[in-house]
Amino acid sequence: MTKHEKDDYEDIFGDWREPRSGTEPPNLEDRKQLHKISSDIQKRHALTVGKLHYDHVLKLVHIIDCASTIYIKDNKLVVPKDLEKFKNVKRKTIKKLINHLEAALNIFYKSNDNETLAAALRSAIVDDDFSNHLAGLSALLELAERAEKIYGQSGNRPLPDWIELFCEACQDFWIEHKGRGTRLRFDSSSDTSAAPGITAWVVDLFKTLTKFREIEAPISQLRSVAKDLPAKRGPKKTT
pLDDT tens track for 183-209: 898 866 555 556 678 999 999 999 999
In the chain, the percentage of residues whose pLDDT exceeds 70 is 85
How would residue 238 be classed by pLDDT, with cut points 50, 70 and 90? very low
Distance CA 35, CA 29 (A): 10
CA distance 227 to 56: 22
| Interior/surface letters 124-134, b for 16+ CB within 10 angstroms, e for the rest | eeeeeeeeeee
From 205, 18, 15, select the one nearest 226 (Cα to Cα): 205
Is 33 within 8 Å of 61 (Cβ atoms)? no
Task: Determine the Cα–Cα distance for residues 53 and 64; give it in Å rounded to an integer.
Answer: 16
Where does the pLDDT of residue 239 fall: very low under 50, low under 70, confident under 90, or very high at 90 and above? very low
Specify the 3-state DSSP secondary structure of 152: strand
User: What would the mean pLDDT of 170-186 be, rounded to a whole number?
Assistant: 87
- Average pLDDT across the chain, whole number: 85
For the chain, give percent helix, strand, coil, nearest 5.
Answer: 60, 5, 40
Output 150 or 192, whichever has higher pLDDT. 150
Q: What is the reported pLDDT for 13?
A: 47
Q: Alpha-carbon distance 100 to 174, whole Å?
A: 53
pLDDT of residue 11: 55
Instruction: Please give the model's pTM, rounded to 2 decimal places.
Output: 0.75
Residue 236's pLDDT band (cuts 50, 70, 90): low
Please say whether the beta carbons of 180 and 231 come within 8 A.
Answer: no
Nearest residue to 80 via CA among 181, 144, 164: 164
Over residues 125-134, the mean pLDDT reads: 74
Name the DSSP class of 221: H
Encode pLDDT of 103-129 as tens digits: 999 988 888 788 898 888 878 877 667
